[in-house]
Every structure is written in structure tokens, then in C-alpha cells.
Structure 1
Amino acid sequence: MGYRNHLHVCQHCGVVQATASQVGPNRCIVCGERNFSEYVPANTVTLRLYSDFKRAVGERSVDVDIQTPATVRDVLEELVAAHPDLAQNVFGDDGGLAGGTHVIHNHEDVTAVDGVDTPVHTGDELALFTPHGTFDRPEERAQIG
């Protein structure tokens, strides 16, 4: 049997199945139907929100649609577009991250790579956080920065 590297979605129940065939499975393992189409995942990046960001947005994580090629900056700009009050806590005056704000991209701190210009791809995961309790005190965060 070949690798199961083709994804198909059942048009009846919506379950996604992996097969070695481009045609799709014979029957759905859930509902038994035979109507399948190719599954194409959306171009999204998962943005996990911690501490003050989680409280401000009201969600633990959000999926952000991206246009490829994309960067960390693009993902954060989408967040700020949906929550304009976060702008000063995400971006600094120089266009980089605000002092004390940290972004982890696939388990690596972006400040150690290319900062907000770090490339992101469909399926990547970002984590956004500040030192706990400093969200409304940017002057204190700048000292931590």
C-alpha cells in the first residue's frame, strides 16, 4: 500500500479521509456514502494568545487567514485589524514588536530570527504574549523589553 498522502472530504458528512489514491476512498468510514472531493486546507496560521492578549481578545487562539507568502507581521496586522485597541501592545513605534511583547513561531522566538519579518506558512503556529499584568502599562513593558 502506498503512502496516504491524498486527502478527501465526504460531501455527505464532512469527514476527511487520507488515502493513497487520488480518486478517493470507496466508501466513507462514517456514513458509507461514495461522494468525495479533494480536501484542500485553508491558508491559515494558528495564533495562540496568552496572558493579557487572551483576556483582551476573549479567545485562547484564533485562526488567521494568510495570503502566501506571508510574515509574522502580516498575521499580527490581521489581529490588529480585528482588534484595533491592541495596536500599541503589538507594534512599537519602529514597526517592530512593542517592548515586552514576545512572539514564538513554531517553538522558536522570532527575535532570534528575523523578528516580525519571519516568514510563515499554512499550518504554522504563533504564540503571542507579554509579561503577565503589564498590558496596560507600556512604560513598564518597555523596561522589560
Structure 2
Amino acid sequence: MEIVCKLYGPPQEIVGRKRVRCAVDDGATVEDVLDALIDEHPDLEESLYDADGSLRDSIGVLANRTNITRREGLSTPVDDGDELLITPPVHGG
């Protein structure tokens, strides 16, 4: 299945594009999509993950407009055609 990833900030700079399509197996999770992105763009790993393997606080991931922290985190399942937004968090004031 195919997931559309929209990248902003450092992830976009590393990949060189704002929009990337990722092919993942049925039953995939957000983590699987991020792993597929890293396979294609290894420099992305340091931008997305801390040394302990957790998602950096400086990166927000939304699956179909919902922050994954409000769902199942990196274990959030994805379906064909879903959209992931990967961006530095936006803070209002």
C-alpha cells in the first residue's frame, strides 16, 4: 500500500522534496512508514529519532491530521492512501 508523506522543516531539507510516497506492507504502522523513509533517505534518522530510538520532541507526526500522540504513537496503524505530516511542532502564542 502507499502512504503520502508531507515533510516540512529539517526533514524536507534532508529529503529535498515536500511530498514523498512510501510503499509499505498491509498492516503497517507509522513507525514502518518512517523506517521506509529512512531506508530511502538515511540522513533522516538523526532528524527524526533521539539516540534512544524515541521520536524527537522537535518532530511532530500527524496521521490524517491527528497527532499520533493522541492515538497509538509510532504504533498507530496506517491504511492505503493515508497521509502523514512530518514537521517541527507549531507553537502558538
> TM-score surpassing 0.5?
yes
Aligned length: 90
User: Using CA pairs below 8 Å that are at least 6 residues apart, which structure has the higher relative contact order?
Assistant: 2
**CA RMSD across the alignment:** 1.5
2:7 aligned residue: 49
> Could you tell me the percent identity over the aligned residues?
34
**Structure 2 residue aligned with 1:81, among 39, 42, 53?**
39
TM-score (norm 2): 0.88
TM-score (norm 1): 0.58
Stretches of structure 1 lacking an aligned partner (at least 5 in a row): 1-42, 133-145
Distance 2:50 2:30 in 1: 14
Q: 1:131, CA displacement in angstroms?
A: 5.0
Stretches of structure 2 lacking an aligned partner (at least 5 in a row): none
Find runs of 4+ consecutive structure 1 residues off by over 2 angstroms.
92-96
1:62-101 alignment, distance < 5 Å: 62-101=20-59
